[in-house]
């Protein structure tokens, strides 16, 4: 029998069940889904779950296309953006199409590359932990950039992305915009002009639906058709009925979406000020998290200390960011609890 070789899988943030934590470790939204989500998941719709879901995901595709004012056949929906990204690696990477991504970024890129035997190169962030877009101008292969970047939250402007995409139109650029709605500008509209740009987004963060598993990609029709080819060859009904309805209701409520993301931005900036006042060093995050280091305590120590006080954050073993903690931005109350606890911990050193 074939047995799997030792791949190093991605390790999701912990989901401990021992007590209720102030949970600031997996970049979830602190807000419930839009009110209409509850209404559309009616008894009548639940009772239709004996029937398969629409494999073309057409009503949700249309709702996403409406939001971004594009044609529905340029949208691909998957079971979470992890699935959309994995399909993209499988579709657009192979031995002669290596992948290039930052040394510090979303951990799944490395895992997907290994899963599909795609050679990859990690390009170091600069000393401020920002992506230096010039470093990607001349690489021969597919570029994968999270914008804002995972772990660091740093953001590349629309112009920077446009330049990168324009520079070499034989090369695909995948931009993972999981965190774009917290202060960045989406490059989705560039897909009108450029055939070599694939933009991936998620309903897990700014649309408050991490537990529904919906993500999507926008690009030119050929790229989108390639993703459908993988989907139909793998799991044609991959999006379930209820998640489709939930995501459609979520993207249609623009006011709630704006309100949630503005709260996150406000809470982020308040938390940033508090941490800076306490002497923390922070990256310029435009995401729903902050990456912060304190010279007086290691990331791991601060993580353990906060966990014992009922506050979950995350730290990373990567050498370049091992002094940092990553803090998901939650509600104002959650951030106050976090800051008070950090004050107490530092005061006791």
Contact status: 172 vs a copy of itself (CB under 8 A): yes
| Least gap, CB of 126 to a copy of itself (angstroms) | 28
- Conformational region of residue 176, where left means phi above 0, alpha means psi within -120 to 50, and beta covers everything else: beta
Cβ-based burial of 210 (10 A; exposed 0-12, middle 13-18, buried ≥19):
middle
Enumerate the β-bridge partners of residue 218: 75, 199
> Residues 170, 200: contact at Cβ < 8 Å?
no
Site string for a copy of itself, 238-267 (x = CB under 8 A): xxxxxx--x---------------------
Contact status: 111 vs a copy of itself (CB under 8 A): yes
Contact status: 49 vs a copy of itself (CB under 8 A): yes
Point out which span in 20-28, 149-157, 288-296, 312-320 binds a copy of itself (CB under 8 A). Answer: 20-28
- Determine which residue in the list 41, 125, 302, 313 makes contact with a copy of itself, applying CB under 8 A: 41
Contact status: 210 vs a copy of itself (CB under 8 A): yes
| Least gap, CB of 301 to a copy of itself (angstroms) | 26
Return the residues of window 112-131 that contact a copy of itself according to CB under 8 A: 112, 114-115
Return the residues of window 73-102 that contact a copy of itself according to CB under 8 A: 79-80, 82-83, 86, 91-94, 96-97
Torsion of CA 16, 22, 26, 30, to 10 degrees: 130
Among candidates 253, 175, 255, 156, which has minimal Cα distance to 216? Answer: 175
| Least gap, CB of 278 to a copy of itself (angstroms) | 29
Cβ-based burial of 197 (10 A; exposed 0-12, middle 13-18, buried ≥19):
buried
State how far the Cα of 190 lies from the Cα of 182, in Å rounded to an integer: 19
**148: helix, strand or coil:** coil
For a copy of itself, the closer CB: 233 or 295 = 233
Point out which span in 203-211, 289-297, 313-321, 338-346 binds a copy of itself (CB under 8 A). Answer: 203-211
| Least gap, CB of 224 to a copy of itself (angstroms) | 12
Contact status: 211 vs a copy of itself (CB under 8 A): yes
Contact status: 33 vs a copy of itself (CB under 8 A): yes
Contact status: 208 vs a copy of itself (CB under 8 A): yes
Contact status: 213 vs a copy of itself (CB under 8 A): yes
Q: Which distant-in-sequence residues (6+ apart) come within 8 Å of 241 by Cβ?
A: 45, 48, 49, 51, 53
Contact status: 295 vs a copy of itself (CB under 8 A): no
- Determine which residue in the list 20, 138, 222, 295 makes contact with a copy of itself, applying CB under 8 A: 222
For a copy of itself, the closer CB: 129 or 199 = 199
Structure tokens at 190: 């560039």
Q: Which distant-in-sequence residues (6+ apart) come within 8 Å of 239 by Cβ?
A: 53, 57, 60, 77, 78, 79, 214
Contact status: 38 vs a copy of itself (CB under 8 A): yes
- Determine which residue in the list 19, 170, 295, 348 makes contact with a copy of itself, applying CB under 8 A: 170
DSSP H stretches of helix in the chain: 35-40, 43-47, 58-68, 81-92, 108-115, 158-167, 221-234, 241-252, 254-277, 299-308, 332-347
**183: helix, strand or coil:** coil
Return the residues of window 224-243 that contact a copy of itself according to CB under 8 A: 226, 229-230, 232-243
């Amino acid at each position: 029998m074939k047995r799997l070789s030792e791949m190093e899988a991605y390790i999701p943030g912990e989901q401990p069940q021992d007590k209720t934590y102030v949970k600031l470790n997996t970049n979830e939204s602190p807000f419930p889904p839009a009110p209409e989500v509850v209404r559309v998941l009616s008894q009548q719709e639940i009772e239709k779950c004996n029937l398969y879901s629409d494999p073309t995901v057409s009503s949700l595709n249309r709702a996403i296309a409406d939001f971004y004012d594009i044609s529905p056949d340029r949208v691909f929906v998957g079971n979470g953006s992890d699935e959309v990204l994995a399909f993209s690696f499988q579709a657009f990477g192979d031995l002669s199409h290596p992948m290039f991504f930052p040394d510090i970024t979303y951990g799944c890129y490395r895992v997907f590359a290994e899963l599909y035997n795609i050679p990859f190169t990690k390009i170091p962030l600069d000393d401020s932990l920002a992506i230096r877009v010039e470093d990607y101008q001349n690489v021969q292969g597919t570029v994968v950039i999270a914008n804002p970047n995972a772990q660091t939250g740093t953001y590349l402007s629309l112009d920077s992305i446009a330049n990168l995409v324009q520079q070499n139109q034989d090369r695909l650029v995948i931009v993972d915009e999981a965190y774009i709605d917290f202060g960045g500008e989406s490059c989705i509209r560039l897909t009108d002009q450029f055939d070599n740009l694939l933009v991936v987004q998620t309903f897990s963060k700014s649309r408050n639906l991490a537990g529904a598993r919906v993500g999507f990609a926008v690009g030119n029709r050929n790229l989108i058709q390639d993703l459908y080819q993988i989907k139909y060859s793998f799991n044609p009904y991959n999006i379930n009925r209820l998640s489709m309805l939930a995501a459609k209701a979520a993207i249609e409520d623009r006011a709630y979406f704006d309100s949630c993301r503005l709260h996150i931005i406000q809470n982020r900036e308040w938390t940033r000020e508090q941490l800076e006042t306490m002497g923390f060093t922070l990256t310029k995050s435009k995401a729903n998290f902050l990456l912060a280091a304190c010279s007086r305590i290691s990331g791991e120590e601060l993580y353990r200390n906060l966990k014992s006080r009922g506050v979950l954050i995350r730290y990373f073993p990567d050498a370049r960011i091992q002094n940092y903690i990553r803090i998901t931005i939650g509600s104002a109350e959650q951030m106050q609890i976090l800051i008070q606890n950090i004050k107490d911990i530092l005061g006791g050193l």
